[in-house]
């Protein structure tokens, strides 16, 4: 969680330098989900993600230097500079790609689960998406296909209550519980506090055991909250779509502070060790940005590579 937080804080700090010439969607405040879920995934398991994918990519073991180089649009980037922040891919760790289109990764993830079943790969397909995706037609189609086909798919809904600048009220019926709605389709569902990393870890562990035992998909919903603007490095509470009071309430639920307090209170590790980890993490982040700065931009001859019709 600290790695994800420090990387994204650095991106936010450096974004005004205009060296990152792509939109970037930060997951600051949501780190517990990608961390708790990823600790349950094996190297053979696949992951697909959304526009807000930095945490998912790093959680799966993606290369930090290559991720930053990708955001800088460099050839050493994980997508060779073609994709930017929203289109990360790393086949070495089975991070199979992220996409800017809401819901677009869901059928890809279901396809990976189908491939795993047909080829007997024994891998699980982890599919990340936000609650806004549940309003897309492809969401129901993907869930339904996974159910009727008994696919090893782990659907992970990060419910941060906002789709760009719209909260749930104009988008979904009052008092709807997404996990209960999806449960009615005939799939096993779990719900947990997405800001408590141990709850995320334990819930995901139960889900994966269920998938392995019954050869069926599982749907997870985690409640969480993004701190910064939908797209970009800044805070945007001043524009009126959410209040400072609401933001402060969720900031008090900071997943990193919550877990740090738990570790120290229970004498699992001490505060000095946590401080040392911050220092080592920041050195790692600094090296990643230096790597990105030194990398080369693609040449003009690369412009027409990897284009298909």
State the pLDDT confidence band at 305, using cuts at 50, 70 and 90. Answer: confident
What digits encode the pLDDT tens for the residues 140-188? 999 999 999 999 999 999 999 999 999 999 999 999 999 999 999 999 9
**The predicted structure's pLDDT at residue 258:** 96
User: Which residues share a beta bridge with 191?
Assistant: 221
Share of the chain above pLDDT 90, in %: 97
Task: Report, as an integer, the average pLDDT of 184-194.
Answer: 98
Range of lowest pLDDT (39-43, 69-73, 171-175, 226-230): 171-175
Edge to edge, what strands does the sheet with 46-49 contain?
95-98, 46-49, 125-130, 153-159, 218-223, 188-193
pLDDT confidence of residue 163: 95
Q: Using pLDDT thresholds of 50, 70 and 90, give the confidence band for residue 304.
A: confident
Would you list the domain boundaries of the chain?
2-304
- Whether 28 and 228 have beta carbons less than 8 Å apart is answered as yes
**pLDDT score recorded for residue 164:** 95
Distance, CA of 276 to CA of 17 (rounded, Å): 29
Given a cut of 80, whether residue 309 has pLDDT beyond it is no
Predicted confidence band at 303 (pLDDT cuts at 50, 70, 90)? confident
Could you say which of 3.40.50.970, 3.30.230.10, 3.40.640.10, 1.20.1560.10 is the CATH number of the domain covering 2-304? 3.40.50.970
Q: What pLDDT is attached to residue 307?
A: 80
What's the pLDDT score for residue 250?
Answer: 97
* Neighbour count for residue 44 (Cβ, 10 Å): 11
Site of tokens 């008092």: 175
pLDDT at 187: 98
Give the pLDDT band of residue 251 (cuts 50, 70, 90).
very high
Q: What is the mean pLDDT of the chain?
A: 96
Model confidence pLDDT, tens digit, residues 59-89: 999 999 999 999 999 999 999 999 999 999 9
């Amino acid at each position: 969680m600290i790695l994800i937080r420090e990387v994204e804080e650095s991106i936010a700090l450096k974004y005004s330098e205009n060296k990152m010439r792509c939109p970037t969607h930060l997951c600051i405040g949501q780190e517990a989900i990608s961390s708790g879920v990823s600790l349950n995934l094996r190297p053979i398991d696949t992951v697909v993600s959304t526009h807000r994918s930095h945490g998912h990519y790093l959680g799966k073991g993606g290369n930090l230097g290559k991720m930053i180089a990708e955001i800088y649009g460099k050839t050493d980037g994980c997508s060779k500079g073609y994709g930017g922040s929203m289109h990360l891919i790393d086949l070495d760790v089975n991070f199979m790609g992220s996409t800017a289109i809401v819901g677009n990764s869901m059928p890809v993830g279901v396809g990976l689960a189908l491939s795993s079943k047909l080829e007997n790969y024994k891998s699980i397909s982890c599919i990340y998406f936000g609650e806004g995706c549940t309003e897309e037609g492809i969401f129901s189609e993907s869930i339904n296909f996974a159910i009727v086909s008994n696919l090893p798919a782990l659907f992970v809904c990060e419910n941060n209550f906002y789709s760009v600048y719209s909260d749930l009220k104009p988008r979904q019926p009052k008092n709807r519980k997404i996990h209960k709605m999806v449960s009615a389709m005939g799939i096993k569902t779990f719900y947990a506090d997405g800001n408590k990393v141990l709850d995320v870890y334990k819930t995901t562990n139960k889900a994966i055991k269920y998938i392995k035992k019954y050869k069926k998909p599982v749907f997870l919903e985690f409640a969480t909250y993004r701190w910064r603007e939908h797209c970009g490095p800044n805070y945007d509470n001043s524009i009126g779509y959410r209040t400072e009071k609401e933001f402060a309430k969720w900031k008090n639920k900071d997943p990193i502070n919550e877990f740090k307090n738990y570790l120290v209170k229970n004498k699992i590790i001490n505060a000095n060790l946590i401080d040392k980890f911050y220092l080592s993490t920041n050195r790692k982040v600094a090296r990643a940005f230096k790597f990105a700065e030194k990398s080369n931009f693609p040449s003009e001859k690369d412009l027409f590579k990897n284009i298909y019709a």
